[in-house]
Amino acid sequence: MRYVPKENAGLKHDRKECENKMKTEKQALPDQGILICEDGDFFPYRIVKSARRTMAVSVTRAGEIVVRIPEGLSWKTGHEFAQRNQEWIFAHASRIREDLEKREQFHWTEGAELLFHGTLKKLHFEQDYETERFRVCDTGDKFLVSGPFSGRDDDEPLVKAAMESWYRKQARRFLEERTAWWADQMGVSYLRIAIRDQATRWGSCSVRGNINYNWKLVLLPVELTDYVVVHELAHRTEMNHSKDFWKIVERELPDYRQRRRRLKGYESEINQKYQY
């Protein structure tokens, strides 16, 4: 699932005006179109021809709706495919817009609540003119951010960057510890751990044994982070998602299905607040 750009969020137009616009653009730009909801909301899309053999529709991370069709098919066929799949597009794009609106309402300001190991903690700011950098301290019940605050809007991206840096350091320490512990329990080995900002994955494991983790794992309750760690380490035995793979996961975590469902429940909030 990808994200719809901010400029498209919540826009509603006169239905007739949109229909006329769509007809005009189809003539001028045959690879572009607009799907219109009954309530007047609309979803612009573009068609891309490629070497693929089948047609598909997706929403990119940048927020663009893309219809992909084989090279030999006409633009008209692409538009017809978009029309046939408009219900799917409406449902998914609408959900993305709702998430986007919630994210726009969140600001990295005094009193904002942030996750750490599944617990919400409030941001607290402390002025410090003797340093040029912002520092983060976890006091137990809150995050204390100290630094040369200007009192202007440009403080917010600096606070956000400081928090991400702090989160990444915590993620490396914590995930290295949990991975070593679980690897010993499971009797497997691995080569290297990398902490990344992955858009669509919590983790991945290569054939060579290198494991990539999303730093946002430290936002989750420990038991959900453990599920991801066990999942990736299980790939050291089974590099697939076969029945044998899930047997390994279940042997270590009999309640893994419940943990997986809970993990999905956190995805919306994390995507709203912690996209960089």
Domain count across the chain: 2
CATH number at residue 166: 3.30.2010.10
Listed residues 75, 105, 135: the one ending a domain: 105
Has residue 1 been placed in a domain? no
Listed residues 42, 72, 105: the one ending a domain: 105
pTM over 0.75: no
Listed residues 84, 105, 126: the one ending a domain: 105
Do residue 25 and residue 161 come from a single domain?
A: no
| pLDDT at position 97 | 73
For residue 219, what is the DSSP state?
G
Around Cβ 228, how many Cβ atoms within 10 Å? Answer: 21
Has residue 177 been placed in a domain? yes
pLDDT digits (tens, 9 = 90+) for 122-168: 999 999 988 889 999 999 999 999 999 988 878 999 999 999 999 99
H helix or E strand, kind and range, residue 82: helix 75-84
Separation CA 189–CA 200 (nearest Å): 25
| pLDDT at position 84 | 95
Do residue 54 and residue 131 come from a single domain?
A: no
- For residue 202, give the amino acid letter: W
H helix or E strand, kind and range, residue 123: strand 119-127
Tokens of 246: 């899930």
Percentage of the residues of the chain whose pLDDT score is greater than 70: 85
Separation CA 139–CA 149 (nearest Å): 20
* Residue 226 reports pLDDT greater than 90: yes
pLDDT digits (tens, 9 = 90+) for 104-118: 667 889 999 999 999
Q: Confidence band (pLDDT; 50, 70, 90) for 19?
A: low
Q: Confidence band (pLDDT; 50, 70, 90) for 23?
A: low
* The pairing of beta strand 119-127 with beta strand 56-59: unpaired
Do residue 85 and residue 173 come from a single domain?
A: no
Tokens of 186: 């499971």
Do residue 100 and residue 159 come from a single domain?
A: no
* Residue 185 reports pLDDT greater than 90: yes
* Residue 225 reports pLDDT greater than 90: yes
